[in-house]
């Protein structure tokens, strides 16, 4: 049962990320850093902070949503690929900005969400 829950929650999170990523990407076509994944990861971190702060007592539900949905919605692997691509292209300032913004804003987003 739990495996199916992870699959469904992760699938929903992934589809939502894809859909939102396309919308955000169309608004920031000329951004010097990959804005869609940055915004999605910050939003996901903020929402995960809020979710964790709810202190849901049902362990299975908490794990499925926290790991499944938010794991599917946010993406460290895509962030890593995009950061390395910027560095390989010798866009060092953009790469450094992307890495620093992602780390600081995602941790800050989670922290802010946990305070809500």
Produce one character per residue of 93-111: b if its CB has 16 or more CB atoms within 10 Å, e if not: ebbeebbeebeebbeebbe
* Span 4-54, pLDDT tens digits: 989 999 999 999 999 999 999 999 999 999 999 999 999 999 999 999 999
Question: Would the pTM of this model clear 0.85, i.e. be above it?
Answer: yes
- Contact between 12 and 69 under an 8 Å Cβ cutoff? The reply is yes
Specify the pLDDT at position 1.
61
pLDDT greater than 90 at residue 55 = no
- Residue 44 annotated as binding site: no
pLDDT greater than 90 at residue 57 = no
- Residue 71 annotated as binding site: yes
Per the model's pLDDT, the better-predicted residue between 62 and 110 turns out to be 110
pLDDT greater than 80 at residue 2 = no
Task: Please give the full DSSP string across 9-74, using - where no structure is assigned.
Answer: HHHHHHHHHHHHHHHHHHH-TT-SS-HHHHHHHHHHHHHHHHHHHT--S-HHHHHIIIIIIHHHHS
Domain parsing of the chain, residue ranges: 2-26+35-115
If you ran DSSP here, which 8-state letter would residue 111 be given? H
Specify the pLDDT at position 62.
87
Look up tokens 């908490």; give the residue. Answer: 62
CA distance 91 to 99: 12
Q: What angle do CA 100, 20, 101 make, to 5 degrees?
A: 5
């Amino acid at each position: 049962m739990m495996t199916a829950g992870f699959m469904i929650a992760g699938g929903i999170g992934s589809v939502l990320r894809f859909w939102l990523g396309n919308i955000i990407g169309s608004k920031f076509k000329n951004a010097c850093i990959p804005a869609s994944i940055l915004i999605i990861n910050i939003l996901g971190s903020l929402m995960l902070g809020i979710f964790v702060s709810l202190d849901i007592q049902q362990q299975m539900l908490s794990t499925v949503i926290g790991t499944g949905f938010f794991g599917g919605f946010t993406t460290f692997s895509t962030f890593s690929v995009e950061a390395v691509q910027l560095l390989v292209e010798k866009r060092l300032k953009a790469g450094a900005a992307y890495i620093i913004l992602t780390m600081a804003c995602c941790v800050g987003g989670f922290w802010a969400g946990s305070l809500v």
